[in-house]
Every structure is written in C-alpha cells, then in structure tokens.
Structure 1
Amino acid sequence: MEIKIYKDKNEVAEQFSAYFVEKAGEHEAFHVALSGGSTPKIVFDVLAQNFADKVDWTKVHFYWGDERCVPPTDDESNYKMTVEHLFSKIDLPHENINRILGEKDPEGEAMRYANLLEIDLDRVGEVPQFDLVILGMGDDGHTASIFPHQIELWDAADHCVVATHPDSGQKRVSINGKVINTAKEVAFLVTGASKAEKVEAIIEKTEGSEVYPASLVNPKSGKLVWFLDEEAAVQLNQNPS
C-alpha cells in the first residue's frame, strides 16, 4: 500500500492526474473504472484542463465502478458528471465510453454490465481485470456502491450487483469486491475532514474496521495507492510515502 498526502483537494487532483497520465502511457489499451463523487469531479476538471494533450485518448476505455439508477440526464448520474467535467472537453472516441445504463431495470443492467466486462476485459480466474479502478470512500466507509449494511455484496457471485442506499433507498449498480481486488491497480481518492475517522480506521486497521467495505480493498497485485489531502489524513500515525 502506498499513501500519498497532499495539501488540499486541488493538489490531490493535480497529482492524481499526473499518475493517471503515466499509467495510461504504459498500456496499449487502458481500461479504467471511474468513480463518482466530489473529488473525481475536481480530478476530471484538472485532467481536461491541464493534461488533455498528454494522453492518447483513443487507447483509454472508460467504465464505471458504480452508477445510480437514474437516467443519464439526471444530475445524480455519475455518467453525466463525467461527460460535463471530462468527456466533453477531450478528444475521446464515443465507442470508448461504456456506461452503466442507470435508466434500465437494475437487475437486468447488472447482468448486462457484468457480461460486457467479461467480453471487453482480460480475465483472471474468470474475473474481469481492469488496468485501474478508481475508488472514493463515503463518510460511512462505503466504496463503489457497497455499503456497510450490505457488505455481503462484496463477495457476491456476480461481477455486478444491485445495491440499495441505506438512507434514500435508491438502487445502484456496482462492481463487486472480486472485480475491485482483481484490478492491476486500485487508487483511492479521498479528501475532506469528514473522511478522517474512516481513513484512520481502514489504513491503521483499527479494531472493528472490517465492517467498512473500503477496508476490504486489497488488490491481489499489491498495487493500492491512497491519494489523500491533509484533512482526510489528519488522524494517521504514519508519514506520507
């Protein structure tokens, strides 16, 4: 595990974008699972503004780790956010965008998307393998759309699952833990003081931390990078690497 701590969320976005460009350059075809949330939004802005000409976008294939079950025109759609902050600003072939169809029946869409991943990606022991999975983490320790009250979905037999938000009841389609941990690399993007308690629990492996789905992220490749700002890292004992 590598822990990178930066001054604020803007520096996190800048440094993660440089990391993304480097990783994209190492692959003939680069298959990435994106995250929603406020930190990726800033990352996408920085990528588009400062790094758009440093990536051969024809080689980058975008997927999502999770999506809310809403139409692509809805403000809650991770896809819509990515279009507005990244895709609309870069020269990306349309066929390189593989969205989760949030407007469809969730169960049927989870099956369709799992099948798409099996077709598009290399597989390791029958599990589709992304080159990079980008994850966020909620204040409750959830990641992708695997929430603490449904942590059993982490080990679900299907590559994609239907999750339910604990407060709103909103349905979401999410990749499962096996897909996350099969990825060649996994990067957490976590910023803000509200995340500090869970960041400490998960990275320091404090007692009881295993109830948080984010604590189960442990890629078989050993390549896990945390991009944190000082606010999110404030309770950590260790120095940044």
Structure 2
Amino acid sequence: MTQRIEVLADPEALARHVADWTLQLALSRPGTVAIALSGGSTPKRLYHLLAASPWRERMPWDRVHLFWGDERFVPADHPDSNQGMARGALIAHVPIPPANLHPVPVDGTPEEAARRYEAELRRFAATRPGLPLFDLQLLGLGPDGHTASLFPGTAALEERAAWAIAVIGAKPEPRITLTYPALENSAEVAFLVAGADKRAMLQRLREGDRGIPAGRLSASRPVTIFADRAAAP
C-alpha cells in the first residue's frame, strides 16, 4: 500500500483541511460523486464542517451519493448508529436528495442485511461502468488496528468475494462492514487519525504491517493519511 501522510496541528485543523480536500475532490468530478463515510469522533467534526458555510454552499450535493463503510446493527435513531450520527451532523443540514443516500440496512438478520447492502452497492456500480465504486472512501483507525469493522482475528479479514459481510462476536453488537474488495474499489482512500492513543497503530500502518487489519488494505492508488500531531509517529 503506497501512502502519503499529512500532519495537522490538532483535530480541528485536521477536519478543516479534509473538508477543503473533500470539496475539491467533489468539484473535480464531472458526474456522480460517491463517498463512503466513516464513523467516529474525528469524521463527525468533518461532517459538521461540510454542513456549514462555506462548504455547504459549494459542495455539489445534487451529485453526491453517500454510503457507509460499516454500521452497527442497531436502529438508525440509536446513539451508536453511524447513519444516525451522519444524519445529525451532516445530512439533515444539506440539500442532498434522499435518493442519493445509501445506508446499511439494519433490519432482518445481519447476514441478510449484508447481502442486501451488497446488492445495493452492485446496482450503483452498474451505473458507473469503468469507474471505481467510490470516489472517496473515508476510514478510521482503531487502537487495535481495525478499520471499518474489520477487526483482528475475524473471518471478514479473509473475505475476497463479497463486498459486504456481517461481523458477529467481535463487539457486543453485530456489525456490517465493507470488505477489502469494496474498500479498495475507490479512487481515493483517506484515513483520518487523531489522538495519542492511535500513535502506535499509525506507526504500524505507516510501516505496512499486515498484522493489523488496516495494514492489509491493498489500494491501487496511494492512500492518504490525515493525522494530527498527537497521533503522528
């Protein structure tokens, strides 16, 4: 995985820089702009900024399609829902068409929901022949080295056919996550990493350590890591 890293002073500077970067990426695309969102506190500040001036007015929301890299199998109004967080921080405040939202299903069984989400992804991919599934994949980095809901020691790490899979047992609640083939099917992949508790894992990611889930990502284009000084190795 070829990488480049940009180090910002603190989480606020990181979020503002990535908001500008995301805006320029969106404006550079002539057609639909597919963005897969991440959960967590660092991207939440990014979403707040994108919903505020000047980003709100400049983003081509009518062309933006939002997806999620992973989701907890809880209702959308649950405090732990990634979709719910994104709706409260971003979606409720911008003029994005409802048809452009592609949340992870959280009804039925986790396995059924994962299959339905993969079907949605493949339908969308068919509308973009010759293009990656996503224009931008936002990712976080856990203190255990996980990204999306790809946790150490889980079967999801070995999945190479399905684009979405249920992860049960790694956390108290089931998760649905994109797999490596889907995460890697992106024109741009960006890790957002903030906080001293991420420093050790970010060092391992920078070293290409495939012993952590984030280090097993094999993107075809360089991966960008945005980190604050506290997290930077």
* TM band (smaller chain): over 0.9
CA deviation map 1:44-86 (0-9, x unaligned): 1111123100111000000001000000110000000001000
Residue 44 of structure 2: which of 41, 44, 48 is its match? Answer: 41
Q: Which residue of 2 aligns with 1:11?
A: 13
Q: Which residue of 1 aligns with 2:203?
A: 200
CA distance in 2, matches of 1:184, 1:163: 26
Alpha carbons of 1:71 and 1:152: their partners in 2 closer, same or farther (altered >3 Å)?
A: closer
CA distance in 2, matches of 1:41, 1:133: 15
CA distance in 2, matches of 1:69, 1:162: 9
Secondary structure, in 3 states, of the residue corresponding to 2:66?
Answer: strand
Q: Which residue of 2 aligns with 1:74?
A: 78
Task: Kindly provide the amino acid, as one letter, of the partner of residue 27 in structure 2.
Answer: G
Residue 174 of structure 2: which of 157, 165, 171 is its match? Answer: 171
Task: Kindly provide the amino acid, as one letter, of the partner of residue 15 in structure 1.
Answer: H
CA deviation map 1:173-212 (0-9, x unaligned): 111001111211101011000000000011023xxx3221
Task: Kindly provide the amino acid, as one letter, of the partner of residue 190 in structure 2.
Answer: A
1:184-195 alignment runs, 5 A limit: 184-195=187-198
Confirm or deny: 8 A CA contact 1:185 1:224 kept in the other structure. yes
Secondary structure, in 3 states, of the residue corresponding to 1:67?
Answer: strand
Residue 25 of structure 1: which of 17, 24, 27 is its match? Answer: 27
C-alpha RMSD of matched pairs (Å) = 2.0
Shift of 1:152: 4.7
CA distance in 1, matches of 2:157, 2:199: 25
Q: Please tell me whether residue 180 in structure 1 is matched to residue 186 in structure 2.
A: no
1:57-72 alignment runs, 5 A limit: 57-72=61-76
Secondary structure, in 3 states, of the residue corresponding to 2:138?
Answer: strand
1:79-118 alignment runs, 5 A limit: 79-118=83-122
TM-score (norm 1): 0.89
Confirm or deny: 8 A CA contact 1:44 1:86 kept in the other structure. yes
Q: Which residue of 1 aligns with 2:227?
A: 228
Alpha carbons of 1:160 and 1:72: their partners in 2 closer, same or farther (altered >3 Å)?
A: same
Residue 159 of structure 1: which of 127, 142, 163 is its match? Answer: 163
Confirm or deny: 8 A CA contact 1:123 1:129 kept in the other structure. no
Secondary structure, in 3 states, of the residue corresponding to 2:187?
Answer: coil
CA distance in 1, matches of 2:23, 2:129: 29
Question: How many correspondences in the alignment?
Answer: 229
CA distance in 2, matches of 1:99, 1:20: 20
CA distance in 1, matches of 2:39, 2:151: 15
**Higher mean displacement: 106-115 or 116-125:** 116-125
Shift of 1:125: 11
Shift of 1:166: 2.7
Q: Please tell me whether residue 211 in structure 1 is matched to residue 215 in structure 2.
A: no
Secondary structure, in 3 states, of the residue corresponding to 2:24?
Answer: helix
TM-score (norm 2): 0.92
CA distance in 2, matches of 1:124, 1:146: 26
CA distance in 2, matches of 1:36, 1:113: 17
Task: Kindly provide the amino acid, as one letter, of the partner of residue 215 in structure 1.
Answer: G
CA distance in 2, matches of 1:40, 1:46: 10
Structure 2 gap segments, 5+ residues each: none
**Higher mean displacement: 58-67 or 88-97:** 88-97
Residue 125 of structure 2: which of 121, 125, 128 is its match? Answer: 121
